[in-house]
Structure 1
Amino acid sequence: MLPEAFAPQTRVIHGYERAYRMAGRGPVLLFLHGIGDDSSTWLDLLESLAGDFTVIAPDLLGHGFSAKPRADYSVAAYACGMRDLLTTLDVDRVTVVGHSLGGGVAMQFAYQFPERCERLVLVGSGGVGAGVHPLLRLAAAPGAGLVLPLLGTPPAVAALRGFAGLLRVFEDTDLDYVLTRYARLLERDTRSAFLRTLRSVVDWRGQVVNMLDRCYLTEGIPTLLVWGTEDSVVPSGHALRAHRAMPGSRLVLFEGAGHFPHRSDPERFLEILREFLAETPPAQYDRARWGKLLRAGRPQQQRLDTAEIPDAPTVSSGT
């Protein structure tokens, strides 16, 4: 498919421009990027999948080509924004693929709008534990907004490259990509949106939003978890927590990969995603069953198990 097919388009929703990429035909896959990123992170995958699926990759509000207003940047607001965008596109049901912050939004979308979620694919996802890299905790601290404008300057980028390489903050395959995203913080509106988004999910103690208490509701929703074993942003032990908390979920760990397994090994990621889509039927929402799950609540044994799992994984790969 020609690259022009994936050029950003926009819809105005609630007075704000929302950018998105959309192409293909067939069952719909919705791809959600992480904080400070944009829909271009998925481009290679979109081109490969558009022959068999309708692929939609938005720029979340405050990111990429979307508007960056003084607004609500909470995970719940992002989930509502995805519902509204899909409605304007006449799309009712989707398989949601979310990376990092986008994974948290994907889980929130499935929780708020279960009738619209066919499957979940969570990639290095936020929202399944407090642990997060200390640099994100620092960035969420008061006064960080005074320092962030400096991070996009050439001297700061060079210093960050050396610092990150020395301490292995990011894998080599991730570092250059992440640093290009830091450069955007020179823009005032982008920086403000980044801080509002970050502070809605992270504080000095770690991640604020935790979906583990509601993960049992994914019973009946086919769920795939993909993590890099060397993820230093969202510790890979979170994958095991999520796997235990989500009944029937599949877990695949990418040995040696960092926070962007879909970029470090796109061919393997694509193979696993296609296999998952082919082998799992889309979830069918049943209001009575949903109510029964809510009344029963989270299993007591599950509470004990998830609390005992460390941040570092005890296995290197598998399902």
Structure 2
Amino acid sequence: MSLPFVFRTIELDGQTLRTAVRPGNGTMTPLLIFNGIGANLELVMPFVRALDPDLEVIAFDVPGVGGSSTPSTPYRFPGLAKLAARMLDYLDYGQVNAIGVSWGGALAQQFAHDYPERCKKLILAATSAGAVMIPGKPKVLWCMASPRRYVQPSYGVQIAPEIYGGAFRRDPKLALAHASKVRSGGKMGYYWQLFAGLGWTSIHWLHKIRQPTLVMAGDDDPLIPLVNMRLLAWRIPNSELHVIDDGHLFLVTRAEAVAPIIMKFLEEERQRAIMHPQPAPARTIG
């Protein structure tokens, strides 16, 4: 049976961070979640509950989101990656596996690149290499440029099919359920997150990511067209691509189907090559 989340609010460099840990049994490397833009940690809980209950999971609200404080000046992705590493120190974690969703996928790439010793494996879901990405439709991107869907849940329900695609096109109840878990950190926090990614790209150092990497994409994703995930899988040396029959939020809408794929990836141990010594030549006695 899955244990309940343990919530803690911690302070780092004057920044208040709200964290949640789902305890595991200690046999597997913990999983750190980097969430999407404007998304508080409650939004990924259906996905976490679908994972093996023995897996310890760490989630947090980035600055300006949910229960974390909004900084007076914005972070860039390297600064947020450093903050995540310091959070792990505070919570007494060494090495973790990392999963990043959408905006959080960019942060996960930065974390894996800047702190390779802290990140054992990497999972990138519905994300891109940043500024060089092949963009979605202009109308969809315009909706994403505003925090309105988080500040005004009824608007979020209205536009969900168009921006998330997949199951949200077919089931209106999904948008209502999603909106009910939203905890807005306010408009400024959202704009600070947009600023974090302004002009950012990982394309020039993706080849330096050495962690085993699982790239996951929805085949009906209006925000991050599939070609972007193919680019990530092509540029990251030790990666595999898995395409899901769904939209942008397949981690939540297809949690029961996606969780076993992720668990299999996390449990795989790459076997080292065993070098068999050559037998010593027979010595003749004469």
TM-score, structure 2 normalization? 0.80
For residues 1-319 of structure 1, what are the structure 2 equivalents within 5 Å?
A: 1=1, 5-25=4-24, 26=26, 27-49=29-51, 51-128=53-130, 129-133=132-136, 134-135=138-139, 137-138=141-142, 148=148, 152=152, 154=154, 157=155, 161=158, 165=161, 168-171=162-165, 173-174=167-168, 176=175, 180=179, 190-202=186-198, 208-219=199-210, 221-255=211-245, 257-281=246-270
RMSD: 3.0
For residues 268-299 of structure 1, the C-alpha deviation after alignment (integer angstroms, 9 at most, x for no partner) is 1111001101224499xxxxxxxxxxxxxxxx
Tell me which amino acid in the other structure corresponds to 2:114.
Answer: Q
Task: Measure the CA separation in 2 of the matches of 1:45 and 1:137.
Answer: 25
Tell me which amino acid in the other structure corresponds to 1:176.
Answer: A
Task: Measure the CA separation in 2 of the matches of 1:271 and 1:50.
Answer: 8
Tell me which amino acid in the other structure corresponds to 1:209.
Answer: W
Larger Rg: 2
More helix by share: 1
Unaligned stretches of 5+ residues in structure 1: 203-207, 284-319
Cα offset for 1:92?
1.1
Structure-2 change in CA distance of 1:250 and 1:7 (3 Å): same
Task: Measure the CA separation in 1 of the matches of 2:255 and 2:45.
Answer: 11
Cα offset for 1:39?
1.3
For residues 28-60 of structure 1, the C-alpha deviation after alignment (integer angstroms, 9 at most, x for no partner) is 110111001021222133334463222101111
Cα offset for 1:111?
1.0
Task: Measure the CA separation in 2 of the matches of 1:119 and 1:87.
Answer: 18
TM-score, structure 1 normalization? 0.73
Task: Measure the CA separation in 1 of the matches of 2:153 and 2:212.
Answer: 44
- Contact 2:31–2:98 (CA under 8 A) maintained in structure 1: yes
Task: Measure the CA separation in 1 of the matches of 2:62 and 2:103.
Answer: 10
SS in 1 for 2:97: strand
> Which 4+ stretches in 1 moved above 6 angstroms?
none
Cα offset for 1:180?
2.4
Structure-2 change in CA distance of 1:92 and 1:180 (3 Å): same
Task: Measure the CA separation in 2 of the matches of 1:153 and 1:82.
Answer: 28
Cα offset for 1:23?
2.5
